[in-house]
Amino acid sequence: MSRKNILEIILGVLVISFVFPPYTYAYLDPGTGSYIIQLLVAGLLGAAFVIKTQWNHIVQFFKGLFGKESDDQQHEA
């Protein structure tokens, strides 16, 4: 293994440990597959959540404009 390869590996490990969240101590095994699928879908669900809350704001705005009282106001998180 060349010195360049070793350097690449060390660099790779450093990048991974800084970029990715630390795998913290937890008594529960999160499961690698569960961890990965979560990361994959959560971005999408996060975007959907933002759109949903924004949409609710728009709906509330127009309801307010037309003087309608809302009975199920959503709180923005």
Partner 1 sequence: MTNSTKPEPQHVAGSFRDPNGFMFRREGQLYRQVNRQYREHYERLMESGLYESLVNKGLLIPHKEVSLSLAVTGEAYKVLRPTQVPFISHPYEWSFSQLQDAALLTLRVQQRALEAGMVLKDASAYNVQFWEGRPVLIDTLSFETYREGEPWVAYRQFCQHFLAPLALMSYVDVRLSELLRVHLDGIPLDLTSRLLPARTRLNFALATHIHWHAKAQRRYAGEAIQAARPPRKMSRTAFLGLMDNLSGTVRKLKWQPQGTEWESYYEITNYSDAAFQAKRELVAAFLAQINPRPRLAWDLGANTGVFSRVAAEQGLLTISWDIDPAAVEKHYRALRAQGETRILPLLVDLTNPSPALGWAHTERASLLDRAPADVTLALALIHHLAISNNLPLPKLARFFRQTGRFLIIEFVPKRDSQVQKLLASREDIFPHYTQEDFERAFATAFTIRAGESIPETERTLYLMEAK
Q: Which chain residues interact with partner 1 by CB under 8 A?
A: 16-17, 19-24, 26-50, 52, 77
CA dihedral over 70, 74, 75, 76, signed as positive or negative: negative
38 vs 73, beta carbon nearer partner 1: 38
46 vs 64, beta carbon nearer partner 1: 46
Alpha-carbon distance of 64 to 57, in angstroms, equals 10
17 vs 70, beta carbon nearer partner 1: 17
Tell which residue, 41, 75, 77, 34, has the closest CA to residue 56: 75
Provide the minimum distance between the beta carbon of 4 and partner 1 in the complex, in angstroms, as a whole number.
Answer: 21
